[in-house]
Amino acid sequence: MENTNRLTHSALLRRLPFLSPAESAQVKRDIDTFLDGKMAEWNATVPFARHLEGTEIHLNYYRQTLIEHAWRIRLMRTAQSYALHKITRINAEAAKLYAAYQDEEMLHDVLFMTDAEKVGLSAEDIFATEPNLHTRLLAGYLYFVAEHEKVLGVICYSYLVEYTTQKITPRQLRAMSESLGKDMIVGQAAHLNTDLVEDHTQDMWDILSLFVESEQDIVDIKRYMSEIQELLKGFFVDLYERFGDVELQST
């Protein structure tokens, strides 16, 4: 018997996308409408959901959001790099796009740490603070999905974050430029600028759509996004109970 090539998982084949360009645009509109509904649900069920858009910021709550943002980016870059390893074995074009996205986002924890320093948090303070349980659960969830389910579930996290950032963060920063001062949110403004200028929402859809290979995948995208929102919701509920609610009771 002759020897055959034992190499099977290196994205050797270039497959035609399941979705045509027109179908991809329609599915994106459907997913975006779904996420708009999830944002409305978020505002209705998460305490302090729009706190950063208000006229007065509770500093202990705000400081903790900066700490967790820094940790979340640090934890996500390892989980997402693991997902990138998986993607390279499936779709080389998607891997190239996802690597470029990671290149643009990977050090953005420093931007949040810059703003944290302006409200009295040193790098040492952040490193001494253990990430919230829900932040750690989210990182573990993405590892599990990449290893045991569909790598598109990890990309769903990035799409959800980029889409909601595009919708919500400009309002937050406009409000915080008044409540805190523009000089206090320079890092977050730089982070948002990268997301908008580079159009990370579209970048993520260009990647995510390459992993849609059936109608079931579209269903699963919504399932993953719902589960990810629940993990993020747990964090913000816990954050409110530990910091927001305490500050309100003391005023």
Q: Cα 104 vs. chain centroid, distance in angstroms?
A: 14
Query: pLDDT-based confidence at 194, cuts 50/70/90?
Result: confident
pLDDT at 10: 67
Condensed to tens digits (0 to 9), the pLDDT of residues 53-74 reads 889 889 999 999 999 999 999 9
Tally of CB atoms within 10 A around 88:
17
- pTM, full prediction: 0.90
Q: CB count, 10 Å around CB of 237?
A: 16
Please answer whether residues 82 and 143 qualify as being in contact, where contact means their C-beta atoms are separated by less than 8 angstroms: yes
Percent of the chain topping pLDDT 70: 94
Domains of the chain, CATH where assigned: 53-250 (1.20.910.10)
Mean of the pLDDT values across residues 91-110? 90
What is the rounded average pLDDT for all residues in the chain? 90
